[in-house]
Amino acid sequence: MTVEEFLEIHPDEDVDLQVPEGRVLLDHGQVQRLLDGKPVIVCKTGVQDAQYVQADDLLTQVVYLAHQIRGLWRVSAAHDPKLEKPIRYWPKLKRGISL
pLDDT tens string 2-40: 999 999 999 889 999 999 989 999 999 999 999 999 999
pTM of the model: 0.76
CA 77/CA 65 separation, integer angstroms: 7
Q: Are strands 22-26 and 40-42 parallel, antiparallel or unpaired?
A: unpaired
Least confident of 63-67, 68-72, 90-94: 90-94
Q: How many CA atoms lie within 13 A of 92 on its CB side?
A: 2
Greatest alpha-carbon pair distance for the chain in Å reads 43
